[in-house]
Every structure is written in C-alpha cells, then in structure tokens.
Structure 1
Amino acid sequence: MSLDRVLAPTFTWDLWAAADRILGWCSDDSFFYFRLWLVGLGRDMFGRVAREPDALAEAPEVQRLAGRSPRSWTDHEWPEWEELDYVAGQAFEDVTGKTHDDFNDAIGAQNFEDPEPKDPAGERWDVNRGEETARRLPRLSALFPVSEAK
C-alpha cells in the first residue's frame, strides 16, 4: 500500500482544524507533514485520529506540547515528519543508483492515480471560533485554548 493511500483518510477539514489548534496555524504543507507525523504514532492511534481528530488529545506526544509556546518546542517535538515523504525516493536512489528525476519518471510511468481528493473531506470551519471548536474538538480545546481575537 502506498503512503498516499495510507494518508487519504486523514485528509479532512476536522483533522486540519485539530492540527491548526495544536500548531497555532497550519498551512497546506504543514498539514501534510503533520499527517505524515501521525503515521509515526502507530496504526491504532492513526486510525483513531482519522476517525476522531479530537483523540489526538490522548497522545502523549501532543500532551507534552500543551501549555507551551510552539517557539519552545524542540525539533524532535514538532508534530511533523517531512522526511517520511522522501523515504521511497531515497531508497530508489540507494538501490538503483539512479537520480531523483529517474524516480519521478518511474512513478509517472506507473500511471498512478492520486487517491487524495482535491479538497479535504467534510465541512470547512474556523478553528479560531471558541464555541465551534469547543463543540467539535473539546479535548484539544482544553489542552490548547485560544482567544477569539487570534
């Protein structure tokens, strides 16, 4: 199974809002790296979070960040794993001795269809609206409170 297929169920507005709540902001790139980081939490937690993003509040890796400014997080603590996106390409290069461009050509030759839709699933909503967030992500809201004026 490809990494893209594994990540597909996590491409939701609710999970994006959860990531935004934890990180304090979340661009499309940081959301992708956040979703890669979820893989590292293990199959059980990954599946729970895909179904219920508020379950992130139970992850010790998230709990350790609560009440602290993202500026104080170490590189190791940041909930992102960009490097995971490069593993297949690096393995291809190591095994074949070919280049990254050769890897991209090989992937393109497979006529691979991206399993991810253009837009996240579900309804887009504003994570900075306190009442809305408290209703949709109650446990994360308690861990990562934010003012309405954000």
Structure 2
Amino acid sequence: HRPGRFDVPVRFSNPKYEQRRDFLRRLLGSEDQHRVDYRIIQSVASGCKGMSMAFIKLVYETAAARAFKRQEGITVSDDDLLKGFEQAKGYYTQMETPEDRDAGFKAKKESAPKSDDEDEEVAKSEVVSNDKSCNKECPAEVSPTIHVDHGVYK
C-alpha cells in the first residue's frame, strides 16, 4: 500500500446544524462579498439537514453561478442562495435510496438509534421557522420549503 491511495474507505457523518451554517458562511466569504441576510443562511443551513458538505457546497456553487449570470460580479443574494438550495435539494431528493446519498456506505446497525434532537434544538433556537402563514414581506417566500421567522431573535 502506497501513501495517498484510497484503499480504506472512511465514512464521515453528515454535518450538524452549526457546521452547515458555518460552512455556508465560509463559502459566502466576508459580508462585503455577498448580500445574503444571516437569517437566510440560518434557514438554508436548517433545510440542509441530512445533506453532506458536498451538497451544501453545491448550494453555494449554484447560487454563485446565478449571481455570475446576472453579470453583476459574483455577489450572491438572498434569492441566489434560496434558489441554489432548492436546486441542490432537488438533486438530493432525486437520489433513489439513502445508500445512493451515502455514496455506497452501508449504515451500521447500532444498539440505540442516534437522535438529532440536539441538532434540532440548536436550529429551533435560531431564526428558522417552517411557518408559511406569515403575511410579512419575506425574501425566503421564494422557497417553498423554508421560511424566515419574523419573531424575536436570539
């Protein structure tokens, strides 16, 4: 076995909410490089639950491609990120089985199933809400699967 070969497959778990949010923020760059509201980043990070970092990167790449097509430079907007999320989610849900999504790794049987309660609690404590009954103007309403809560934020 020589170094650098992929002889041993290594499985990485999908990122938790904070990791997804921070990765999106890192991909977007500093606030002067994009026009994405932090609440939209939080909503998209919450909506990416179950996705790998590769899918989250696809969200950003799709958003950046939309920005580039507008010929305004690569300044990603709220709408770009939300549409990028919808497109990546479409690719993700088109995969036929969880095994397809996990790149062929078989899920290990565990004595006690893992819970994402901690991940869910963090997301709930953020700005994110799935309430679609909001009548306020909201840039997230372009997305049928996520919505920004207009309540009091932590």
* TM-score, structure 2 normalization: 0.32
* TM-score, structure 1 normalization: 0.33
- Answer 1 or 2: which has greater strand percent: 2
Structure number with higher relative contact order (C-alpha < 8 Å, ≥ 6 residues apart):
1
